Amino acid sequence: MSSTPVVVVLHGADRPSPQALAPVAERAEIRYTEAAGLADALEGADVVFAYDFLSTAIAEAWHAAGSVQWVHVAAAGVDALLSPQVRESEVVVTNSRGVFDSAIAEYVLGQVLSFAKDLPGSLRLQDERRWQHRESERVAGTRALVVGTGPIGRAIARLLRAAGLEVSGSGRRERTDDADFGTVTDTAGLPEALGRADWVVAIAPLTDSTKGMFAADAFAAMPAHARFINVGRGELVVTDDLVSALRDGAIAGAALDVVDVEPLPQDHPLWTLPGVMITPHNSGDFIGWRDALVTLFAENFVRWADGRPLDNVVDKSLGYVPTTGS
| DSSP annotation of 130 | -
Active site residues: 233, 262, 281
SS3 159: helix
Query: Pick from 1, 14, 12, 27: which is nearest to 57 by CA?
Result: 12
Residue ranges matching CATH 3.40.50.720 in the chain? 6-99+287-305, 101-278
Q: Residues of 147-167 as b/e, b for ≥16 C-beta within 10 angstroms? A: bbbbbbbbbbbbbbeeeebbb
Note if the pTM is more than 0.85.
yes
Classify domain 6-99+287-305 at the CATH topology level. Rossmann fold (3.40.50)
In the chain, the DSSP E strands lie at 6-10, 29-33, 47-50, 70-73, 92-94, 143-147, 166-170, 175-178, 182-185, 199-202, 227-230, 253-256, 276-278
Report the CATH architecture of 101-278.
3-Layer(aba) Sandwich (3.40)
- Cα R_g (the chain), whole angstroms: 21
Query: Pick from 182, 172, 177: which is nearest to 150 by CA?
Result: 172
Along the 326 residues of the chain, how does pLDDT read in single tens digits? 448 999 999 999 999 999 999 999 999 999 999 999 999 999 999 999 999 998 999 999 999 999 999 999 999 999 999 999 999 999 999 999 999 999 999 999 999 999 999 999 999 999 999 999 999 999 999 999 999 999 999 999 999 999 999 999 999 999 999 999 999 999 999 999 999 999 999 999 999 999 999 999 999 999 999 999 999 999 999 999 999 999 999 999 999 999 999 999 999 999 999 999 999 999 999 999 999 999 999 999 999 999 999 999 999 999 999 876 55
Rounded to an integer, what distance in angstroms lies between the CA atom of residue 56 and that of residue 20? 24
